[in-house]
Structure 1
Amino acid sequence: MKKALKNVSFVFLLLKMCIVFGQETSTQKRIVIDVGHGGKDSGAIGINGIQEKDIALNIANAILKLNNESDTPLDIYLTRYNDTLISLSNRTKLARALKADLFVSLHSNHSDNPNTRGIEIYVAPSKSEYSEQSVWFAYQLQNQIKKQLGFESRGVKFANFQVLRDTIEYCSSILFEIGFLSNLDEKSYFTNDTNVTMLAHTLLIFLIHADL
């Protein structure tokens, strides 16, 4: 990033999905946003005690709010809607139950070096019919975040994270590390509501134009 940067329970949600599928006639694409960590799992802890789980939830809720206010909202679901710990396997089971077209896992980073900064986007190294599209989405999102918000990029990378490994067989999936909470500039960015809204808007526009 440049210095000047331009619960519903899991079971209840699955029951709700059964009702939705029973009434569904639309072919609208379905997106699952995986809100990293939660509950007793704080994730990365940054400057002044800022927690990764809270940043991920703030961004996800901002995306959901903007989407719900849209004239033509996307079919978006979160893996958690409050500060609740959902297991990695249940996160991917939800995506499978929803028959998701795209799975986006939101996280933020940490480093012992306070000068480390920038975004990272991961895709699964295993191959499937969705691998090429996942890589394409990762590069497209990287470019949008750099162009619209001025974040530096540390690149698109491959990693065998469980949420990617367990979703790549049936949908496109990416894991987005949105900056470093150990970096003062990036930590400050995420504690500003206007910045969070701008980031959420950029992510939503990316999702709207994703060719699923």
Structure 2
Amino acid sequence: MSIRHWPAAERPREKLLDQGAAALSDAELLAIFLRTGVAGRSAVDLARQLLSEFGGLRPLLEADLESFCQHLGLGPAKFAQLQAVLEIARRHLAEGLRRDSALESPQAVRAYLKAQLRHAHHEQFACLFMDSKHRVLAFEVLFHGTIDGASVYPRQVVKRALAHNAAALILTHNHPSGVAEPSQADRQLTQRLKEALALIDVRVLDHFIVGDGEPLSMAEYGWV
């Protein structure tokens, strides 16, 4: 049966308008994005099939173009739409950070860094540059590594901090394994960067490690 013949309370779009997006299942949200199903299957049925084939919503969102387009009901146009939606979400989080002091919104910082780095299949090291009032000036991925690690050069971090006229910054990198536990190398790197940035009067406020759960704050453990 087509979705338009379902009771209004069960149709994903009407349910979202009545109860809010949080009330919908992953399949219902994906069905709204898909808009239509395929022969013999409603958009919700197709969404459930896709979630099963990909292994969940996250692998679907992180799929590259080639693997995305191998599935029924998906193609380059849908891939482009999905990437646009994800980028809109990232920019929305960034605008929220720029309005206020980053230190007054620790959860917003975590959400933003998670949105930026959790999807990466290889390790990336980035900085959130801030002014003297801890308002965000810019976010930059400075180093790309392999799944085993990244080479981070303090001189380049100092150079970018000067370019942004930053007074403070937050360091961050992802662990593609999903485990957000800092290694001894992570702690040593943090100390090296603190010492290098102190020479130009730029404070390192924190170093977040992004994994599958909430990003880990090294400052909260006394490691910054």
Please classify the TM superposition score into its range, dividing by the shorter chain length.
under 0.3
Greater helix content: 2
Query: Which structure has the higher relative contact order (CA within 8 Å, separation 6+)?
Result: 1
Q: TM-score, normalised by structure 2?
A: 0.26
Structure number with bigger Rg = 2
